[in-house]
Amino acid sequence: MKLFVGLGNPGAKYAGNRHNIGFMALERIAADHGFTPWRKAFQGEVSEGRLGREKVILLKPATFMNLSGQSVRAAVDFYRIDLADITVFHDELDLAPGKLRVKQGGGHAGHNGLRSIHAHLGEAYGRVRLGIGHPGHKDAVAHYVLSDFSKADQGWLDDLLRGISDGAVALAEGDGQKFMNAVSLRTAPPRSSGGTASAGPAAGPPGRKLPPEPKPAPKPEPEPDARSAMQKLMDRFR
């Protein structure tokens, strides 16, 4: 059994916040993979289902971000889940919008939700770090994360959530690289190799000059006309 935890703040007021992208990821997985309706449990909301061979519990703590560890600890104690089988989805300021990284263990980097989970469980659980970008100054962080995603963000955000859902089975089965590849196919699809070749000269390797194009061969000189004046006049009237 695996436990996927999405971090965020409860209530409609916060639903569209950047800080709630962890909730959004779990909601997309639940909707796309036929999980049970959300129900209240463990000081949060829970949905259950299967991803490939694995039974998965989805948990959205309703304790507010700073107390997320209370909810996670209650679920872990009930299901007797090992830390290695827990994955926490959370917003990440240090990644560009739409970028994603998978990490096992490590510090909380000042994230209040992770800090709370660390306090209750330690640091050996997995994380999916969901890039939201940085506002540029630390004093603007609180307002930034508690503000809604803008209309301009909706394109990459939808691609990211679709990719997370596409790769959810691989993540549940422990294949982090396959999971990230599935996300990448949504957020950075490969470019087509087709297209018409340029009609101009081919470019050489960087820093190397191409040899000059060969000059056209000179036209041969016309042979002198050996006809007499009378022959020229007769040929003209033929």
Q: How far apart are CA 163 and CA 186, in angstroms?
A: 5
Question: Residue 16: how many CB atoms within 10 A of its CB?
Answer: 13
Note if 19 is an active site residue: yes
Beta carbons within 10 angstroms of residue 125's beta carbon: 25
Judge whether 105 and 124 are in contact, CB under 8 Å. yes
State whether residue 227 is helix, strand or coil. coil
The crossing angle, in degrees rounded to 10, of helices 176-187 and 154-166 is 150
Alpha helices in the chain (DSSP H): 21-32, 68-79, 112-121, 141-145, 154-166, 168-172, 176-187, 229-236
Q: 19, 33, 90, 111: which is the annotated catalytic residue?
A: 19
Contact status, residue 44 vs residue 62, Cβ threshold 8 Å: yes
d(CA 196, CA 183): 30
Give the whole-angstrom CA distance, residue 134 versus residue 198.
40
Cα–Cα distance, 49 to 68 (Å, whole number): 22
Q: Is the dihedral of CA 7, 9, 12, 14 positive or negative?
A: negative
φ, ψ for residue 176, nearest 5 deg: -65, -35
Structure tokens at 71: 């909810």
- Just list the catalytic residues: 19
